[in-house]
Amino acid sequence: MGEVNAEVAAMTPDSVLPISEITPNKDQPRKTFDEDALAELTDSIEKNGILQPILVRPKDGGYEIVAGERRYQAAKRAGLTEVPVLVRDVTDEEILQLALIENLQRSDLNPIEEAQGYRTLIESKDLTQEELGKVLSKSRSAITNTLRLLDLPEEVQQYMIDGLMTAGHARAILAVPSEQGRLNLAKKVVEDHLSVRQTENLAPLFSVNNETVVKREPTPQAFKQAARQLHVMLNTNVKVKRVRNKNKIEIEFADEDELAELVSRLSMASVEEESDYGFDEED
């Protein structure tokens, strides 16, 4: 991939174009604009005008924005009918790169928009991550880490777009292997306003593969009824349950004296049961 034409960066006398002849670039990497910041820029433009021209290129009988869409949007809000521009013949191959670089330099992209811009450049220009890093003056590892954000569930990506979590949170969440685990941790980050360090500490707890956990079978009604009857008879807590395919009765006692009392009650119950069936000492 060649360098951006030096002509694009060269400053020339400004032109002024009707704002109606200018259209945004549909492939602009920046998809969201902070409303408060846009309102401030609109107010500034109403008072002072546009101080930095918008970079455009001729297209389809009009002009398409190469860089400066936020200024364009604020100018429309301010009611301007004309805006200062720099007109350049920028190719399709160069326009995304220029828009991405401008936004990165101004820190105007959220992490997901940045990652999407990287991916588009890599796919459209058949670049390696290392080659893209050289173009954008970033390390290959920085490119890789940013692209990994696109492996997150869409709902988690939306949290980042909405400013509810940072790239640091996202990198901690990526340590969780399953998509459901990542989503669960992200929801906790948002709901509990967790720090990045807290998210890192919690990540191992969300790394259990929940899909392999065997669902516990509901306790049969007969077990519950037996537990209640034994509780009444013995006057202590009793559990009737199935553990590893075996049925068990657990009887709670506090000490040896209470244990002896329970044994006595069970023995008496056994004698009474034998008597009910006609078994006595004379037999």
Q: Which residues are catalytic?
A: 69
Which ranges of the chain would DSSP assign to H, the alpha helix? Answer: 6-9, 35-48, 69-77, 92-105, 111-125, 129-136, 140-147, 154-161, 167-173, 179-192, 196-202, 221-234, 256-276
How far are the Cα atoms of 46, 183, 196, 256, 270 from residue 192, in angstroms, in the given order?
Answer: 41, 14, 12, 47, 56
Pairing of β 246-251 and β 15-18 = unpaired
Q: What angle do CA 63, 10, 137 make, to 5 degrees?
A: 95
- Eight-class DSSP state of 56: E
